[in-house]
């Protein structure tokens, strides 16, 4: 079971997300809160696997909350779920330690898939967000270090930069999800990173793919 915690100030949306998580197979709703004023205590007590985090929250905004949570918990996966698609919000969230970034127009089925994906180490992003990340790093830089990635590893890394989930990568490359996970672990080792967002950032910044 994947334990999910929600921080969303819109009552209707918070209730809808709560019902969606409650009904989804393999997910367990641990709590749903309208603000992050007590997020440290709530995260420590409830020990979620995945957090759905809005940005525009009263008191402490979602990006500030991510920074606070990362000071005491580096393992929980934090998935931003917001209406903001501006570059500053995207990169502020990712730099703060967010594991993925989705827009609120994401369909329920895609959201459930993204929760599972981020729990398994993926970095789900809405396609528009992935494009903005790609454009941000689309500047030529001199790269001297070689990471010795195989052709298949480069294919998978490219898919990650496009915001593909593990399931989408598996379907695209006709691999099993377990094989995709194995390749991604090897990519992390070669790139000397610890997460999908770090791998995507390095791949785009250094034009590895």
Sign of the Cα pseudo-torsion (189, 194, 200, 201, in order): negative
Residue 48 contacts residue 69 (beta carbons within 8 Å): no
Q: Is 144 helix (H, G, I), strand (E, B) or coil?
A: coil
CB atoms within 10 A of CB 108: 14
The helix or strand, by DSSP H or E, that contains position 135, with its residue range, turns out to be helix 127-136
120's CB contacts (< 8 A; 6+ apart) are 166, 181
Mean pLDDT of 110-130: 88
CATH architecture for the domain at 2-124: 3-Layer(aba) Sandwich (3.40)
The CATH number of the domain covering residues in 137-205? 1.10.10.10
Per DSSP bridges, beta strands 2-7 and 100-103 are unpaired
Split at pLDDT 50, 70, 90, the class of 200 is confident
Q: Is 109 helix (H, G, I), strand (E, B) or coil?
A: helix
80 closest CA partner among 39, 115, 34: 115
**Which residue in the block uniquely carries the two structure tokens 């020990």?**
47
pLDDT digits 0-9 by tens, 18-39 = 999 999 999 999 999 999 999 9
Query: String of b and e for 83-94 (b: at least 16 CB within 10 Å)?
Result: ebeeeebbbbbb
Give the model confidence (pLDDT) of 156-171 as tens digits: 998 888 888 888 899 9
pLDDT in tens, 24-78: 999 999 999 999 999 999 999 999 999 999 999 999 999 999 999 999 998 899 9
Beta carbons within 8 Å of 139's beta carbon, 6+ residues apart:
none
Share of the chain above pLDDT 90, in %: 54
Q: Check pLDDT > 50 for residue 7.
A: yes
CA–CA gap between residue 29 and residue 7 (Å, rounded):
12
CA distance to 6, 62, 166, 193, 196, per residue, from 185 (Å): 28, 29, 12, 10, 10
Averaged over 125-149, what is the pLDDT? 69
Sorted by where each begins, the domain ranges of the chain are 2-124, 137-205
Q: Edge-to-edge strand order for the sheet containing 50-53?
A: 27-33, 2-7, 50-53, 77-82, 100-103
pLDDT, tens digit, for every residue of 92-110? Answer: 888 888 988 999 999 999 9
Give every CB contact of residue 62 below 8 A, 6+ residues apart in sequence: 7, 36, 53, 54, 55, 56, 80, 82, 93
Residue 114 and residue 40: Cα distance in Å, rounded?
Answer: 24
């Amino acid at each position: 079971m994947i334990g999910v915690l929600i921080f969303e100030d819109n009552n209707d949306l918070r209730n809808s997300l709560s019902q969606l998580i409650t009904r989804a197979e393999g997910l367990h709703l641990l709590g749903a809160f309208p603000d992050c004023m007590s997020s440290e205590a709530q995260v420590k007590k409830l020990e979620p696997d995945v957090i759905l985090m809005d940005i525009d929250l009263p008191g402490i905004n979602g990006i500030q909350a991510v920074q606070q949570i990362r000071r005491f918990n580096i393992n929980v996966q934090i998935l931003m779920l917001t209406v903001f698609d501006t570059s500053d919000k995207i990169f502020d969230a990712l730099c703060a330690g967010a594991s993925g970034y989705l827009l609120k127009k994401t369909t329920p089925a895609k959201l459930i898939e993204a929760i599972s994906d981020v729990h398994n180490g993926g970095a789900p992003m809405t396609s528009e967000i992935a494009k903005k990340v790609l454009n941000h790093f689309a500047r030529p830089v001199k790269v001297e270090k070689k990471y010795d990635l195989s052709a298949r590893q480069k294919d998978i890394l490219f898919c990650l930069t496009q915001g593909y989930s593990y399931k989408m990568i598996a379907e695209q490359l006709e691999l099993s999800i377990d094989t995709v996970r194995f390749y991604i672990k090897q990519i992390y080792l070669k790139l000397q990173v610890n997460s999908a967002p770090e791998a995507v950032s390095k791949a785009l910044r250094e034009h590895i793919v």
